[in-house]
Chain A
Amino acid sequence: MWKRNLLASLAAATVMGSVLTACGDGGKQASGAADANAPLELSIMTILLSPNPPANDNIIKQAIEKATNSKMNIQWVSANSYTDKLNVTLASGDIPDLVYIDDPFSANFRNMVNQGAFWDLTPYIKDYPNLSSKISETAWTLSKMQDGKNYGIPRPRPAEADRFFIIRKDWLDNLGLKPPTTTDELYNVLKAFKEKDPDKNGKNDTIPFTATVNPTDMYDLQAIEGAFTGANGNWKLVDGKMQFTSFLPEEKQALQYIKKLYDEKLIPEDFASMKISQAKDQFKAGQAGMRIDKAGTMNDFVPAIQKIQPSMKPTDFYPLTSINGYNPKGPGFAGILAIPKKVPEDKMKRILKLVDTWMNDDVFNIQQFGIEGRDYTVKDGQKVLDTQKLAEDGGPDFNQIVYVADPYASSTKNYFPKEANDLYKQIQDERAKSSVADISIGLYSPTAMQYLPELLKDVQDMKIKVILGRESMDAWDQFVEKMKNDPNVVKMAQEMTDAYQKRNAVK
């Protein structure tokens, strides 16, 4: 008899439980605070690049919240699932108050902007000193949508000293060679790396140039393509018209050069299937003589190499200035922070103020240096940073929300030894004199949105086949001829040219 009652009460408890879960999370949606001085409650969604996400009661987060008078509910999303999660979030309409858009030129985002889902921030920027001054003009210009308005705050990134050749200077010194400045000199250096045992271990086991490629672009090998074509990216301005770089005659020369490198085993035989981490590991293990990266990653490699080859100095992680007069520079921003229209206007302004305050030196330093005594100590007036502890406290993760770009951040770091910082700064200044940007960023071509990904894949497949020797150079010529006359390619080039001229006119 009591068993039946027991069962009935169990059933009732289950039902109540499910009802209560429904009630439980309902109240969490905080609407805009009415009191102007109360801490600003907002939800943020951004990418996570570290293996471990920062906790909600993270000490650095609390410090930043105190400094900006806010209470942040941060959703960290793993970097390569970000696009999926973002699309679902945008489609559901439950958009957080400040959301990082990784690709502001994706069809999805452009569509939502056209439907009026996000605030047009262009008229408000001038009211906030840091937003206008600390984010470069280039970043604001390149991140405009096709109607010429800014629908998000671009996240600034250092533009100069983008990924380029990094060479083992100690190996060059061992062989009595100078850093190369042309593709011919580069070839000679790589050949010497292969044959003359630069690490002096008695074996010819070095990989002169460790490089990887992507399914839709040449990635590391783009540095060589750029050295021949003089252009950064997929489009080059030739006589006032935009042309697809892979169809230029110089591209053929680049492919022949890369093929020579491959045939003589100066790049790894399995470069076409190697992963980025494998190339990094090869360099870290002291097996490779050259890779493509930014000088600022020196600390990722040198300490590991020093465990195996203790004679390497930080300045032996040596960036080349230019090859054939070419070196790339970046767009100056990585993604934008957008605010959805459903956020009321005064809250939107408060959010802009929050970002603005966050960009102040004293607040920004909280994530750069951490808490005194815990993540850094002051010795002789200089801040000495414990990078390991700062990383564990999640300091660098907050750079994915707000970042103030130190123009030398790609090359120097505050924890590098002085000689390294001086050397890299000097090289970056040299590079800035001739650096080339990707002029196609942000230009809107409807045909490109539809056909470019497929085209890039086909072009990349063909390039790899030619390099590996599976297709001849003649086959490449035929391919280029066919593609150049393809109506979609012609239309794309025309639209890109028009967009470029339109943007240049609106200065």
Chain B
Amino acid sequence: MKESFGDRVFNAFNILILALVAICTFFPLYYVLVVSFTDPTEYLKSKFIIFPRHWSLASYDYLFSTRAFLNSVGVSAFLAVVGTACSLVVSSSLAYVLSRKRLRGRRIILMLILITILFNPGIIPNYLLVRNLNLINSLWSLILPALTSGWYIMLMKGFFDSIPQELEESASIDGCNDIAIWIKIILPLSLPSLAAFGLFFAVGYWNQFFNALLYLTDSSKWPIQVLLQNMLIGANNTELSSDVFVQPPPAETLKMAAVVVATVPILLVYPFLQKHFAKGAMVGSVKG
């Protein structure tokens, strides 16, 4: 059926609006990227940079030479890798077990998990808990309390529900015990789900800020988001910094370079997990 003139106008209009929205959304990212590669002196002179005349890696050079920055990148990487691995092991095993109807006390455990989704005790009780576990100033204080989330457990359980019981029965007839079924059969089948939730966990660990601020006292253990906040916002407080000699705050280009380094790893991981991701999160949520 040939498009009428009205249809064409409507389509054109739609495309125009959406294109504008896309540009507005994309432009800040572009700006941060471009400014981070600009020569610092040129940045001071020009009011607004769409395309810099002098490209320079000066900001990145400086960043990677400061030990504090490299430290914090290392800490964040540790948290993301180890934390995600721990979280996946715990969450997936819990979700799988809860999906098997023959588990005794299943309803009670589900109820308890539901309660944790609904209520959050707040900052001070969490702090007291971490302190009583002697985890203050340990990197494990950022991993262990945040190991899993009731919400993700529910979603993962939904996924495991879709794996038929018959599969397990046939495996156990062949002589597998529970652990073997778990490792050899269930896990390979659930790679989409694992990839999706692995990504959620990884992003969560990489972005951790407030917890790190509260629980870590040693500044050499700061993850990158805390260092970034200190660099970007802390240095703006002129009221205090003009009192006594303090380094002048870092140039805008330096801050942009830090933002790029803090964001790019997650941006890069997304495409690789994209194919698993598209199916994984919601695949268990609709029955049949």
Contact = CB atoms under 8 A, between A and B. Distances in A.
A85 interface: yes
Given A7-B179, A48-B234, A296-B242, A26 B134 contact: yes
A88 B131 CA distance: 12
Nearest to B137: A25
Contacts of A73: 217
B233 A80 contact: yes
Interface string B17-46: 000000000000000000000000100110
Interface in A45-65: 45, 47-56
A304 B234 contact: no
B247 A51 contact: yes
Interface string A4-35: 10010000000000100111111010000000
Contact of A94 (B131, B229, B243, B249): B131
A93 to B, nearest CB: 9
Interface string B219-246: 1101000110111011111101111111
Nearest to A293: B242
Contacts of A88: 123-124, 127, 214
Interface residues of B, number: 53
A186 interface: no
B44 A396 contact: no
Contacts of A45: 217
Contact of A48 (B179, B230, B236, B243): B230
A22 B134 contact: yes
A158 B245 CA distance: 12
A21 B134 contact: yes
Nearest to A82: B234
Contacts of B127: 88, 91-92
A308 B41 CA distance: 9
Interface in B224-281: 226-227, 229-231, 233-238, 240-250, 252
Main SS class of interface, B = helix
Interface stretch (B61-69, B94-102, B149-157, B158-166): B61-69
B235 A50 contact: yes
A55 B144 contact: no
Interface string B167-184: 000000000010110000
Contacts of A77: 213
Q: Which of B180, B226, B240, B241 has the most CB of A within 10 A?
A: B240
A277 B236 contact: yes
A275 B236 CA distance: 9
Contacts of A396: 244-247
A91 B227 CA distance: 25
B253 to A, nearest CB: 11
Given A3-B180, A25-B136, A275-B236, A294 B245 contact: no
Contacts of B45: 285, 308
Contacts of A163: 242
Given A7-B179, A277-B249, A334-B240, A49 B235 contact: yes
B129 to A, nearest CB: 11
A151 interface: no
A75 B243 contact: no
Contacts of A387: 245
Given A88-B127, A92-B128, A396-B245, A52 B68 contact: yes
Interface in B74-132: 123-124, 127-128, 131
B286 interface: no
A300 interface: yes
Nearest to A284: B44
B60 interface: no
A75 B222 CA distance: 11
B135 interface: yes
A157 interface: yes
Given A22-B135, A52-B69, A403-B244, 20 more contacts: A22-B133, A25-B134, A51-B68, A51-B234, A54-B219, A55-B220, A56-B220, A73-B217, A75-B217, A77-B213, A80-B234, A81-B213, A81-B234, A281-B44, A281-B252, A285-B44, A396-B245, A396-B246, A396-B247, A410-B243
**Which 5 interchain pairs have the tightest Cβ spacing?**
A53-B219, A78-B230, A52-B68, A391-B247, A51-B231
13 contacts: A25-B137, A47-B240, A50-B235, A51-B68, A52-B227, A52-B231, A75-B217, A81-B213, A92-B124, A294-B242, A334-B240, A396-B246, A399-B244
Interface of B: 41, 44-45, 66-69, 123-124, 127-128, 131, 133-138, 140, 144, 177, 179-180, 213-214, 217-220, 222, 226-227, 229-231, 233-238, 240-250, 252
